[in-house]
């Protein structure tokens, strides 16, 4: 199985590869809360913020693969005309993924370029964490529980 062959990515592969996203989101949440959520002395806040920034860019890169795979799947599904019906599961899964991507890009823009909106980055970070964990729980964890990690025939 080649991760770059996006036409043939199995549900099992997507589930296991994207399991890193909620872990990265939790790492980002913990590092941000360490610096911005605690009063008093903090352990090396400059290093923690650097780790947070690097982790955010790693998260962005890791998020791009499932977005590309999902966009390819949705574009192929939209080409079928015979018996086509709205697939709510895939739509909401894609909607949540794209929403997380948009919030992440917006957070980066606020922090890097528009400092007047920097104070909104904290809320965006929390929403990104919640959105990522929710999306993976709905899609990945549910699939693992229902299918037991077996490939779809």
The structural domains of the chain, with segments of one domain joined by +, span 6-147
What are the tens digits of pLDDT across the range 1-27? 455 566 677 777 788 888 899 999 999
The tokens of 66 are what?
């499932």
pTM of the model: 0.79
Q: Which comes out higher in pLDDT, residue 48 or 71?
A: 48
Q: Which of 64, 66, 62 is nearest to 15 (CA)?
A: 66
**End-to-end C-alpha distance for the chain, whole angstroms:** 15
HSE at residue 36, side-chain half, CA atoms within 13 A, is 16
CA 86 to chain centre: 24
HSE at residue 119, side-chain half, CA atoms within 13 A, is 1
What are the tens digits of pLDDT across the range 63-119? 998 888 878 777 776 666 666 666 677 778 888 888 999 999 999 999 999 989 988
């Amino acid at each position: 199985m080649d991760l770059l062959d996006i036409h043939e990515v199995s549900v099992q592969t997507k589930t296991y590869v994207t399991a890193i996203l909620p872990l990265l989101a939790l790492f980002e949440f913990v590092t941000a809360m360490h610096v911005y959520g605690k009063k008093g002395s903090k352990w090396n806040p400059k290093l923690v913020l650097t780790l947070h920034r690097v982790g955010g860019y790693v998260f962005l890169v890791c998020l791009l693969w499932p977005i590309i795979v999902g966009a390819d799947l949705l574009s192929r599904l939209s080409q079928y005309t015979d018996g086509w019906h709205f697939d709510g599961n895939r739509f909401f899964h894609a909607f949540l993924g794209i929403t997380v991507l948009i919030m992440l890009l917006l957070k980066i823009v606020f922090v890097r370029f528009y400092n007047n909106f920097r104070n909104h980055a904290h809320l965006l970070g929390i929403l990104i964490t919640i959105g990522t964990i929710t999306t993976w729980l709905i899609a990945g964890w549910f699939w693992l529980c229902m299918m037991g990690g077996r490939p779809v025939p």
